[in-house]
């Protein structure tokens, strides 16, 4: 918790002091649509490393980070491009790690929250250069083909309609038989009375 407090205090201080993006001691990586895979470094003078990602609708975001030597990091998934939301502490808790870890991976579901721009922020208190591997992919989700299910439902309705129609015909036939039998029974009673 102390790490988070120090981290947020440093970022609030940066928000107050006007500075251009080039003056911020942070590395920014643009993640292409084809994905990103590399061994990156987090330097002690850096405030954070950020990975900016555009995720089209119907795609999921899959990411994995792992320290290759000593040290650890915290990771945050922010629902916008850039680190503006971090000053307000707004990030996806279930897809981030406040606690320092040596590896972290997650899959952010397609169209979850309907955001399409994300930033993954890496932060560390390790006082030497932290080496880690980063792997980020943007995967299209296959839309299930429900054709077979629709056909089964349609055939089910057709089968039910045919069964119902046949049942009605059978009931009519049974009723006619019963009526015919009742008529014949009445006729035979009349014949007995006449004698």
CATH number for the domain that contains residue 42: 2.60.120.380
Query: CA 50 to CA 121: how far, in whole Å?
Result: 4
DSSP label at 181? H
Domain count, the chain: 2
Q: How far apart are CA 46 and CA 24, in angstroms?
A: 8
Taking all residues of the chain, what is their mean pLDDT, rounded to a whole number? 81
Q: Are 62 and 53 in contact (CB under 8 A)?
A: no
Q: pLDDT (tens digit, 9 = 90+) per residue, 134-143? A: 999 999 887 6
Q: Identify the helix (H) or strand (E) that includes residue 81.
A: none
| Range of the structural domain that residue 162 is part of | 144-195
**Does 101 lie in the same domain as 49?**
yes
Q: How far apart are CA 74 and CA 70, in angstroms?
A: 14
pTM (2 d.p.): 0.61
Say whether both 105 and 13 belong to one domain: yes
């Amino acid at each position: 918790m102390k790490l988070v407090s120090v981290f947020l205090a440093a970022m609030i201080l940066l928000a107050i002091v006007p500075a251009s993006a080039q003056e911020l001691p942070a590395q920014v990586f643009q993640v292409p649509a084809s994905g990103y895979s590399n061994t990156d470094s987090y330097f002690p003078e850096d405030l954070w490393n950020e990975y900016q990602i555009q995720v089209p609708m119907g795609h999921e975001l899959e990411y994995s980070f792992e320290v290759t030597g000593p040290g650890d990091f915290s990771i945050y998934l922010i629902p916008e491009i850039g680190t503006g939301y971090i000053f307000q502490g707004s990030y996806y808790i279930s897809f981030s790690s406040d606690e320092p870890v040596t590896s972290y991976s997650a899959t952010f579901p397609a169209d979850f929250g309907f955001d399409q721009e994300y930033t993954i922020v890496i932060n560390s208190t390790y006082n030497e250069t932290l080496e880690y591997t980063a792997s980020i992919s943007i995967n299209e989700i296959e839309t299930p083909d429900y054709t077979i299910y629709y056909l089964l439902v349609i055939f089910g309705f057709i089968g039910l309609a045919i069964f119902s129609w046949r049942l009605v015909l059978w009931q009519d036939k049974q009723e006619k038989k019963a009526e015919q039998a009742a008529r014949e029974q009445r006729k035979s009673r009349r014949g007995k009375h006449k004698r």
